[in-house]
Amino acid sequence: MEDRKLKKVLSSVDLLVLALGAMLGWGWVVLSGTWITSAGSMGAVIAFVIGGFLVVCVGLNYAELASAMPKVGGEHEYVHRALGKNFSFVASWAITLGYVSVATFEAVALPTVIDYLLPNYQAGYLWTIAGWDVHLNWVLIGSVGALIITGINYLGLKQAAVLQTVFTLMIVGVGLILIFGSGFLGDTANLSPAFSGGMGGIMTVLVMVPFLFVGFDVIPQVAEEANLPRKSIGKFLIISVVGAILFYLAVALGVGLGLSPSQLANSELASADAMASLFNSDVFAQILILGGVAGIITSWNSFIIGGSRVLYAMAKSGMLPAWFARLHPKYHTPSNAILFIGILSMLAPLLGRSALVWIVDAGGLGIVVAYFFVALSFIVLRKKEPNMERPFRAAKSPIYGYLALVLSLGFIVLYLPGMPAALIWPYEWIMVAGWGLVGAFFFIQMNRGAYEKKSATAKKKAL
């Protein structure tokens, strides 16, 4: 039988840009105005400091576990070892919702960006969803983009990593133009009011943090494909998190310095308008939007990579049908899992632009649920397996595990009815419920041993 294994093809630079590019997506372009109008310039900074602290705590949990267990699937592996198969399924299915949500989000974000570059280009009316008209050429832009990104990932991880490097450098370059431009040309008077909306305003920004920062956990997903020392896996994960926090903080301040409160109130794309205002040229706004397009591509790329690896790991463990565990004989990629996420991305634009918010919120809940289980696994493994080899160790005590556990639980509560970030009825609850029902079906089948039997039969035939 041909030996089909995931290949160790990723360098340290590949790992860093995979995570950083995943976190620096389109959100910093489209949401920066909302951060400042909701919380004020300093309120937004405080929200990112608090949210960044959560991400660092969770990131330290991941860094230790990824270096100790550099296995494909990340959360799947850690929770399985600490809490058993059932909890591993829940955590893995939850993070897959997060990954799929980002991949589908970018498929809707891409044609949305074209709206800013080419106004009134839409043609071929299809239908109206939640008050927004869906047009054929708008859908095709998102679907063709999904097809291209899926194809690149299908052909090999190294090719996807090269793509990631190029576009991550574009994002960072454009972001630095905004940051340094605001430092030299911005007006500190624009930072007033420093706070807006009190604690409620800060909370509004805070609940966006899980979605904005999801991406560092792509490193654990591909740890088995990384060609570097185990300790370095944890180190680069933390470097990527700190880099993203600094970038978001600088962008929030940069937009605050670049636009007055009245300009912010009338801005649809605050980061681009801030660039235009700072340099007194619309050309710079277009440059920033191109940086946003690069962010769409890097996030899209990372989460097809991460999501496909989780599905692959689940199928290998008998949690999902063996179809998801197929490795391509030539490219050594989990080809079927990649196709599954790619097809969902191609279909997402059919929901129209309104789906952007629904996808962000529904995916955010899945992400923080997975973070909760990883933190719990971190604590359990510290007690259950104190002598486990941990090349990267997050402090002597499990303090970061407890902090991440409490903060993750707090974030989960924020998504519940009656809270500031409560999921919107019916659209977002339908997405979560639909994903949960499909998961429940697979969960029942898993506990019946259906997938393990089929997987064993497939192996015998291959031999």
> Taking residues 89-109, what's their average pLDDT?
88
Residue 50: pLDDT over 80:
yes
408 Cβ partners below 8 Å, 6+ apart?
Answer: 54, 58, 368, 369, 371, 372, 375
pLDDT range class, residue 453, cuts 50, 70, 90: low
Mind listing the pLDDT tens digit for each residue in 81-91?
Answer: 999 999 999 99
**What is the rounded average pLDDT for all residues in the chain?**
86
- How is residue 46 written in tokens? 């405080």
174 in Cβ contact with 290 (< 8 Å) = yes
Q: What are the DSSP calls for 100-143, one per residue? A: HHHHHHHHHHHHHHHHHHSTT---SEEEEETTEEEEHHHHHHHH
Q: How many Å apart are CA 448 and CA 317, to the nearest integer?
A: 14
Chain centre distance of CA 79:
20
36 Cβ partners below 8 Å, 6+ apart?
Answer: 44, 196, 252, 255, 256, 264, 270
Whether omega before 426 lies within 30 degrees of 0, making that bond cis, reads yes
Q: What are the DSSP calls for 10-58, one per residue? A: B-HHHHHHHHHHHHSSSHHHHSHHHHHHHH-HHHHHHHHHHHHHHHHHH
> Taking residues 289-315, what's their average pLDDT?
89
98 in Cβ contact with 252 (< 8 Å) = no
132 bridge partner residues:
129
Q: How many helices (H) and strands (E) does the chain have?
A: 20, 2
> Taking residues 315-341, what's their average pLDDT?
90
Q: How many Å apart are CA 327 and CA 333, to the nearest integer?
A: 5
Q: How many Å apart are CA 152 and CA 164, to the nearest integer?
A: 11
> Taking residues 311-315, what's their average pLDDT?
92
- The SS3 assignment for 62 reads helix
> Taking residues 330-338, what's their average pLDDT?
89
The pTM score is: 0.84
**DSSP E strand stretches across 216-268:** none
What Å distances lie between residue 285 and 134, 178, 269, CA to CA?
A: 26, 10, 9
133 in Cβ contact with 113 (< 8 Å) = no
What Å distances lie between residue 81 and 85, 381, 385, 390, 398, CA to CA?
A: 8, 8, 10, 15, 17
Q: Which carries the bigger pLDDT value, residue 12 or residue 446?
A: 446
191 in Cβ contact with 44 (< 8 Å) = no
Percentage of residues in the chain having pLDDT higher than 70: 95
Write down the pLDDT at residue 462: 40
Q: How many Å apart are CA 395 and CA 105, to the nearest integer?
A: 36
Q: Which DSSP category does 395 fall into?
A: -
Which range scores top for mean pLDDT: 10-14, 215-219, 378-382, 456-460?
Answer: 378-382
Q: What are the DSSP calls for 306-332, one per residue? A: HHHHHHHHHHHTTSS-GGGGPPPTTT-
Percentage of residues in the chain having pLDDT higher than 90: 39
